[in-house]
Amino acid sequence: MMSLFKNLGKTVKPIPLPAHTMDLPGYVRMPDFIRSYIDHLASKNFSKATMRRYVYDFDSFFQFVAEASGESIQARDITQEAFLEIDGSGIAAYAEYLALTKQNAPSVINRKLSALQSLFRHLIDIGVLSENPVAKINRPKQAKRDPVYLTKREWDELMQLLPSNVEMNAREATHYERDRVRDITLFQLLGYSGMRLSEMTQLTWNAVDFHEGTIRVIGKGNKERVIPLAKPVRVALRKFAAHYSLTMRGPEPIFQKQGKALSPRAVQHILKRHVDRLRPVLPFLERKQITPHKLRHTFATRLATGGVDVLTIQQLLGHESVATTQVYAHIGDREKKRAIELFDSER
């Protein structure tokens, strides 16, 4: 019995991979200490999207190591001891490689460095490292840009043409007939709720309360928030349920395909397909790259221009910090000023 506890954690008995790794391409290629870190993130309720991005960024770093050393390296064979020998000059060389060789944008470079910095911070927390080699690296500066969003007129024009067969051939129109109501509902929900794409694809009928007029959303960090059910969304969901003979209750995802929740990538593809076909008749789509996240911006901007305070917008969007939300207040003020200027010019 004594030896059982003494050797706990040193057993050679194979342990099945954790469930969260099923959707993390590259997880099995990672070194043991990085897989342990990803498992740690999973235990803290980090989203799969975040963990997937970390694995991708760690893989990018090991590719750099292989290129810089000129050796054939299998990431899984790298030991924690060998990894901890890296210093600031090695991280600086990686940042330079990302900028000059890979020509990554500043935002991408900062994201990849942040992934490493988070890993090193974890290694410090567990007592195997004393200093974070990423902390003193000069990061590339990112230009601050206002979020891309649709004005009310642009949104109205888009929603007016979305149900139509404009710019479709006969075959495409026949195919669209099956998905028309679903696609309209997806757009309405994104534009009138401000939900993240991942939140919407996980939404169940049980989370929608038509009597109270609310949607219960599970966001980042497994945090719950409640969003008022806008009338266009209420109407769209009822039509959606009626059209596809759905019961409007239960724990199953609202949007499904072949019995499984519609994936975020599938929704991105659906939106892109409609934006591409409507671009010839809606000129603003030429200069605005509309994605599900841009419709989240559209929702937030509509609130800001309508005079909603920043703290309320923060709560509706599920932002951790109000600083993230502050940009919408800036846009709201600018749009109000422009409206007054137009009013004055008519006098």
Structure tokens at 345: 């010019």
Q: Measure the CA–CA gap between 159 and 152, rounded to whole angstroms.
A: 11
For helices 170-193 and 152-161, angle between their N-to-C axes, nearest 10 degrees: 150
Q: Using alpha carbons only, what angle is made at residue 48 by residues 142 and 299, rounded to the nearest 5 degrees?
A: 60
Which of 37, 94, 149, 328 does the annotation list as catalytic?
A: 328
Would residue 196 show up in a list of annotated catalytic residues for this protein?
A: yes
Which of 196, 277, 294, 297 does the annotation list as catalytic?
A: 196
Cβ-based neighbour number of residue 111 at 10 Å: 15
Beta-bridge mates of residue 204: 253
Structure tokens at 343: 């009013």
Which of 112, 294, 297, 319 does the annotation list as catalytic?
A: 319
Which of 52, 220, 234, 279 does the annotation list as catalytic?
A: 220
Q: Measure the CA–CA gap between 293 and 112, rounded to whole angstroms.
A: 21
Which of 35, 112, 182, 296 does the annotation list as catalytic?
A: 296
Closest CA to 165 of 177, 153, 183, 181: 177
| Whole-Å CA distances, 178 to 159, 267, 273 | 18, 16, 15
Cβ contact 197:267 at 8 Å: yes
Would residue 319 show up in a list of annotated catalytic residues for this protein?
A: yes
Would residue 296 show up in a list of annotated catalytic residues for this protein?
A: yes
Would residue 220 show up in a list of annotated catalytic residues for this protein?
A: yes
| Whole-Å CA distances, 140 to 37, 107, 137, 146 | 26, 8, 10, 19
Alpha-carbon dihedral angle through residues 28, 31, 32, 37, given to the nearest 10 degrees: -90
Give me the amino acid identity at 20.
H
By annotation, the residues acting in catalysis are: 196, 220, 293, 296, 319, 328
